[in-house]
Every structure is written in C-alpha cells, then in structure tokens.
Structure 1
Amino acid sequence: MLKLALAAAISMMFLLAPPDAAARTKHKGRTAAAKHVKQVKPKRTDLAKVIADDNRQRMVRRIEMVHGKRRVVYQRVRRAAPAIAILSAGDLVGLNKTHDPLDLRSSVAYVMDQTSSEVLFEKNSTVALPIASITKLMTGLLVVQAHQNLDEVLTITDADVDKHKYTSSRLAVGARMTRGNLLHIALMSSENRAAAALGRNYPGGIDAFVAAMNAKARELGMNDTHYVDSSGLSSQNVSSARDLAKLAITAHQEPLLRQYTTDPNYAVQASGRTLQYHNTNYLVKMPDWNIGLQKTGFINEAGRCLVMQAMIQGRNVIMVFLDSKGKQSRTADAGRMRKWLEALKPAIPAAAAAAVPVTVSAVVPGTAAQ
C-alpha cells in the first residue's frame, strides 16, 4: 500500500508539472515539479516583504459598534507616496544655483523704481522662462484696450476646458457670465476657463487674440516674450523679468486692471448661481501693504511666479519674481525685498540708491543679456 501511495504521489507531481518540464525530471538534483512549486511559494521572509511593500498599503485597526456590541475592524489604507521633486525650466538650466544677498527663494528677481525706471535689484532678469498665469495680465490688457463690451454675456464651451494640464474649474460648460465678470475672476482668482473664453470671444477668435498678444509684446519692447494661449497653461508662454516689468507698468495705467487684480474677493453670477472667488495673492488683504497691481502664476515648468506694483516708503516700485520654490515663497520674497528697500532708502537717497543696484546673474547656456 505504501508503494502504491508513493507512486500515486509521484504521478500527481508529474501531472502538475508543465509538459515541457516533465522531460527534465532530474536537473541538478531537483524535480521539475519541485522547481515549479518553489517559484510560486516564496520564503516566509520574502512573502512578508511583498505584503509590506504591496502598493505601499497598511492595515488600520478601528473599533465599531454593531448592534450594541464592540467589533474590531481592520481596514487597508493606501499610504501617501513620497513627493517627487519636479524640476522647473529654471532648474534645468541651473538658475536655482544662483545666490543673492537677500537669500531669495526665487531663481529670478527684478525690482525697479516705477517713476525713474532705475533698476534697484536684478537676478537673472534677462532669461526667458515659462510665466504661467502671469500671461493673464496681457490677456486683461488686450480686452480692456480693445474696448470690448464688458456687459456682453459669454458662454463657457468645451473649447475653454483645459486639455493641456487638465486643471479643474468651477465654471461648468454651458455657464453664462458677462465679459466683465470673466475678466475679473481671470485676473483676481486666475480662473483658466474665464481666460480661455475671453480669448475665444475676441474678434477673429483665439488665434487672432494670441497674435494680438504677441503684437502688443513687440510694441512694448518685450523682446524675450512669446505667447501661445490666453491662460498661461502652456509652458510655451515665456518671458523675462525685465519684459514683465514693462507689462506691469503699462497694465498699471488701466484703472480696471488695478481694481480687478487687487480685489481680495468677488462674487459672480453664472447661470443663476452665485460663485465666490478669492484673490490668489493674500498680500492684497494685508493692511501694511499698498499694492496697486499684481498677478500670480504657477505651473510645474514655471515654478511660483509673482508680478506686483506697490508703494514702499513713498516709492512706487515694480517687483517681478519667477521660478520661486515653495507655495508661499514668492510672497515671502516680496516681503524680504520690501524690508531691504525700507532699510536702503533712509541710508541712501533714492538717486544714489538707483546708481548702485544689486545685480546677480547666472551663466545660462543659449541665452544672452538684452
């Protein structure tokens, strides 16, 4: 009986083995069936590692009350994956390695006296980089200077949906809103579908609008600047800090742009619904800041960006910060710059200060100072 049982067991092992492995019943002292079993049954330590590493999950123990009785429940939850550092366009060319006396978190900075046009501080200011939603400042300038009817009601369509970055929006397809309100939330809250709708409803459509954006840039002497859309979602919207200072000076001359970019919050009507929007720059709410114009921007390729006009110690200044690292770093850099200017002016008259600007530059392949 023992022999019959042993024979039956050996036969079953051969039946479980792959057909091509049966011919190699002996290979280095092991049967094919044994090899097959070893492949699907790892060691205990290996199995524990697989379970621990599987989708970075872990078991959480919690207690529930079911029909008045305590019951222990184990639930599998996913751990958050570690953050992966994403390099910006500035990082890729080494601008983040440029050091400056103020220890700014922005790879690019440019500060000038708005009245005298004297440069007070600059760091990599001639390098053209992606500018994200700073683009909307040019969008607003074109809409205002084209004298389009701000009371005309426009409709959000599928053409306004972001198919580049797939960003979300509170403006649903089919939502109706006046051009003025679309302009307001595009500038104040950086609403992308609003900016897209503004460009699409320009005479000649979005292509004509982008062409007008680039024509206006050339008119203003913004030689490092190029636009491909009205929202800034594309990383192909590029400019230098010096160019953006020129845009800020021109935009500051428009009262509507000053108001819309600095309103702390605003409620709009969209197809019968009230939507509350807030400014992307919290500094406009701070009583110790006197800001006349501002615009923020962010995409991964651009980093955190900020363009701002402000009065500091009685002096109107234009500030531009590009490719900043950290969610609040661009506004923190603005604070560092303000403290530096406040300390500078009592010690040195404005004219003398303008004559000795701080200039910090990095050597960037393929770029040249303008």
Structure 2
Amino acid sequence: MHKMNIARILLWLVLCLPLAVSAQQKGASVAGAQNLNLASVNAAVAMVGSNELVFGRNADRPVPIASITKVMTALVMLESGAPLNEWLVFEKRHTAAAANAYTRIRIGSTMRRADVLRIALMSSENFAAYTLARSHPGGFDAFVDAMNAKAKALGMMNTHFVDPTGLSAENLSTAGDLVKLVNAAAKHPEIREYSTTGYFRGNFRNPRYSLSFGNTNALVHRESWGVELSKTGYLSEAGRCLVMISEMNGKQVVTVLLDSLGTRSPMGDAGRIKRWLDTGASGQVAKAARQYAQEKNAAYNAVAQSASTTTALK
C-alpha cells in the first residue's frame, strides 16, 4: 500500500501557507453537508457554463494540480492567436524540469503547433507543453505571466502558476477555481477535440519519424460517458487528479477531482458523482483511499492551525 511522506507534504504546504489560511477561513466545503463519499481529497461539481457548485469538498483549498495545468497552457496558447499550422522546434530545455520529464520526442525535431497542443492535452506530453510556452511571443517567462494574468481575469483568485507543464508542485489552484478554468476552456472547440482524442499518431520532421499517443483518461473511450473535455494529472505532491466535462443524468457536468490515492480513483469518483446526481446514492470508497484522505486533511489542517496561531500572536 502507498505510504505518504508526511514530512514532504508539510514542506510544500508551507509554500502555500497564505493561500491555505485563506481557504480555511472561507470554509472547507461548499456543500459539505451532502453525503457523497469520494476518494479525492478536494472536489467540485458544477453544470457546464456555471461556476456555481452543486457539490464541493475543500473546494477553496489551494493545492498542487500537476498536469491539470495544461488546460491553462492550452487556453493561453489558443488565445495568443499563434497559427496552429506552424512547425515548432523541440528545443532542449533552458531550465531543468521540477520533476521527471521523460519524453520520446527527439531534441531538434519539429511538429505542427496543432499536434503539439493535441499531445500535450490528450497524452499529457510535458515536452509538448514546454514547447508551446517556449514558442510564445516573448518566450517562456512571458507565457507563464500570461497564464497568471488569465487566471486573474477568470476570477481564479487562489491560483498561481510557475510553469506550463504541471511538473512543479508550486502550480497551485483550487477545485472551485478549476471549474472556472474548465468552463472557459470549453469555449474552444480545439481544447474539446484535442483533449478527448483517444489515440493519435504524431508525425515529426528533422528527422522524419512518428510516435503513437494515447489518452490518459480511460473514460474518453466509453461512449456512455459522453466526455467533451478531459485532463488528468499526477505528481506525488498532488496525487491523482482529473478535470472533465461529461454527460451525467442527461446534463453536461464539470467535474474537478484533486488528490486521490490510486490510478483509477478519479474515474471511480466520477462514477460515484454520476450515480449521486442520478439517485442520491452516497457511494463507498476503499479503506486505503479513506486513510489517505484523512492523512492529507490532517496535514492541511495542522498547517492552517499553525498559521492561524502565528497570526493571532502577532
């Protein structure tokens, strides 16, 4: 069974202390009285086009969001107006990645921007997301600045980005803020299409070669789910994450699930939310997942309590 490194969790919690205290003051959950059992530590559910939550769990708590970051990367790239048919060069990183950034893509090869965006979304290709930012007018740093400016414009007040891939645990957001991001991203048909592509054969030049990519969300392959937008994420600090637009109970629903234990836990939570909307059933989660959530919540609460005490003593 997975064992959390509590010391490491506390370390990065300290990094986002001001945001965590703010979330604690706002309240842990929008709809905490609703009896829905989830494996995810933080969650939000809303109807497409609305930022009002129909369910929330720790929805105002800032946490690392891993590759969910790439939804903002896609939004900023598309709104920059950069041509999708332009060939981009995969250049060697100018700074070291914050976490494992393994890729099969060869340094110096080229690919059309549209396809770079597609594999960044559907297959969570980190080198692709990095390349989109690197090719932005003004360069990499200007792209990250644009990500934060867009977050502010969308009212994502507890969100902050430091890189376009999600490899840094310092990319922070809340489940509630990510509902706003998903609703904004859903207005772009390219994000809907590219993020839900099941399989894709990407063609590169200089040299010429091709690679196969698969979607990281198994639910896009199931017609019964009607997935219209999807992004998964994982870091040890962030746990398993998923944002998605799918059909539930005859309606298009935004689901945000952050920080769960197992690879399939977000998909299981999506199923529990779907049944809850249809029947009101609370659902059940595995003992290991419950223990994981309890430990994570205890770590958050300890840091928030410590910060509150420190503030009171000043």
The TM-score normalised by the length of structure 2 is 0.79
Residue by residue, what CA displacement relative to the aligned partner does 1:55-100 show, whole Å, maximum 9, x if unpaired?
Answer: xxxxxxxxxxxxxxxxxxxxxxxxxxx96534574998799xx998
**Match of 1:208?**
142
* Alpha-carbon contact 1:311-1:317 (below 8 Å) kept: yes
Report SS of the residue matched to 1:135: helix
The answer to whether 1:246 aligns with 2:165 is: no
**Match of 1:228?**
162
**Match of 2:288?**
none
> Structure 2 CA distance, aligned partners of 1:150 and 1:194?
14
> Structure 1 CA distance, aligned partners of 2:236 and 2:272?
24
1:85 aligned partner, one-letter code: M
Report SS of the residue matched to 1:134: helix
**Match of 2:255?**
319
Q: Residues 164 and 147 (structure 1 numbering): CA distance in 2 closer, same or farther, change over 3 Å?
A: same
**Match of 2:236?**
300
2:219 aligned partner, one-letter code: L
**Match of 1:266?**
200
* Alpha-carbon contact 2:42-2:58 (below 8 Å) kept: yes
* Alpha-carbon contact 1:156-1:193 (below 8 Å) kept: yes
* Alpha-carbon contact 1:225-1:239 (below 8 Å) kept: yes
> Structure 2 CA distance, aligned partners of 1:161 and 1:187?
22
Q: Residues 160 and 169 (structure 1 numbering): CA distance in 2 closer, same or farther, change over 3 Å?
A: farther
**Match of 1:57?**
none
**Match of 1:170?**
104
Q: Residues 90 and 308 (structure 1 numbering): CA distance in 2 closer, same or farther, change over 3 Å?
A: farther
Shift of 1:157: 1.4
**Match of 1:157?**
91
> Structure 2 CA distance, aligned partners of 1:153 and 1:182?
9
**Match of 1:68?**
none
The TM-score normalised by the length of structure 1 is 0.68
Residue by residue, what CA displacement relative to the aligned partner does 1:128-174 show, whole Å, maximum 9, x if unpaired?
Answer: 00000000000000111111011111111111685321331011211
Q: RMSD in angstroms over aligned alpha carbons?
A: 2.8
> Structure 1 CA distance, aligned partners of 2:230 and 2:256?
10
> Structure 2 CA distance, aligned partners of 1:90 and 1:329?
23
Shift of 1:232: 0.7
> Structure 1 CA distance, aligned partners of 2:51 and 2:272?
21
- Range that drifts further, 123-132 or 268-277: 268-277
**Match of 2:270?**
334
1:126 aligned partner, one-letter code: D
* Alpha-carbon contact 2:12-2:169 (below 8 Å) kept: no
Counting matched residue pairs gives 270
> Structure 2 CA distance, aligned partners of 1:134 and 1:127?
16
Structure ID, larger Rg: 1
> Structure 1 CA distance, aligned partners of 2:214 and 2:155?
32
> Structure 1 CA distance, aligned partners of 2:97 and 2:106?
14
**Match of 1:85?**
4
* Alpha-carbon contact 1:266-1:277 (below 8 Å) kept: yes
Report SS of the residue matched to 1:148: coil
